[in-house]
Structure 1
């Protein structure tokens, strides 16, 4: 059976014209990601996105190539190990980068630079707050998953942690607006 008979909506040009702006926007975002994060994962994601864009736009012209790759995969089964290797590399690359997003990092830097007599107390307080927040979110997530598995009303349980997460995020944004860049004052 041909793929046109199985998935006729993929070959309907009336609906695919709405897809092009989204695909182009995705490629632009990938270029910005490469500019910001100079990592192999960003380049790999951009390459796969560009390849996917080419396949979407020129799918009729590439139909013979895609059929050849499908036959090759059926015969030699090379695609699955290659994708597993590629996925493992991407996952290890993503996990090996340091976490850059810490809430209240600028506030901690500002307080440490302006209250130098406090020593290690300010980083300790902020790290304890971060730890308590992460423990609370973890426990809440476990409770929400358990209630969803038991067909209970998990949405009410998820509402409070989401409100607290939003409140902490807004608090971090407001703290950044108040203190500025987090550097020392002159």
Structure 2
């Protein structure tokens, strides 16, 4: 997270890092944090800042954090390596990896909806969540192993290092 803030220098990253630091400090110095929360309550009462405005500001910061392009995609280094090795098939390789990523995201999204529905209906949602979690771990391990095999994503054609795998 510190490296991301150092490289990208986005306001949302700085806010997220500071919130993480505040959370760690709050755990360590709980009494002092309670005094700080009391100060925030009096500040809120004095200037009449509503919860809705705080939620809107938080939502804007959250969306700003996720509006940046994703640099850590699954199998990004493998895609870079394959396009460097098979120079004539650049578009087909990119399309194949993007289709695999899209199918993976759709599967996880559908599984998440099924798990939430099962939890809302007081059914056994843990068994439904087990299979997508195993698949997520398997894909992540596959990406890590592919990065170990191909290295930084550079091939014989001189392709630069990829942005890393998720």
The interval holding the TM-score normalised by the smaller chain is 0.7 to 0.9
CA distance in 2, matches of 1:177, 1:159: 27
Show the counterpart of 1:134.
105
Residue 31 (structure 1) shift: 4.7
CA distance in 1, matches of 2:15, 2:31: 21
- 1:101-134: CA deviation from partner (whole Å, max 9, x where unpaired): 2101110110011011224111111111111111
Residue 173 (structure 1) shift: 0.3
- 1:55-102: CA deviation from partner (whole Å, max 9, x where unpaired): x47839x95x87665444324313646634531431232132111221
The gaps in structure 2 that reach 5 residues or longer are 158-166
Greater Rg over alpha carbons, structure: 1
Residue 151 and residue 180 in structure 1: after superposition, are their counterparts in 2 closer, same or farther (change >3 A)?
A: same
When the two chains are superposed, the root-mean-square deviation of aligned CA atoms in Å is 3.0
Structure of greater relative contact order (alpha carbons < 8 Å, 6+ residues apart): 2
Show the counterpart of 2:75.
104
Residue 119 and residue 86 in structure 1: after superposition, are their counterparts in 2 closer, same or farther (change >3 A)?
A: closer
> Does the CA-based 8 Å contact 2:13-2:65 persist in structure 1?
no
1:91 to 62, 70, 77: 62
1:157 to 128, 131, 144: 128
Residue 71 and residue 142 in structure 1: after superposition, are their counterparts in 2 closer, same or farther (change >3 A)?
A: closer
The answer to whether residue 32 in structure 2 is matched with residue 59 in structure 1 is: yes
CA distance in 2, matches of 1:146, 1:66: 36
Show the counterpart of 1:182.
153
Show the counterpart of 2:161.
none
The answer to whether residue 139 in structure 2 is matched with residue 168 in structure 1 is: yes
Residue 150 and residue 89 in structure 1: after superposition, are their counterparts in 2 closer, same or farther (change >3 A)?
A: closer
Q: Scaled by the length of structure 2, what TM-score is found? A: 0.75
Residue 169 and residue 51 in structure 1: after superposition, are their counterparts in 2 closer, same or farther (change >3 A)?
A: closer
Show the counterpart of 2:10.
39
CA distance in 2, matches of 1:148, 1:58: 36
Q: Scaled by the length of structure 1, what TM-score is found? A: 0.68
Residue 162 (structure 1) shift: 0.7
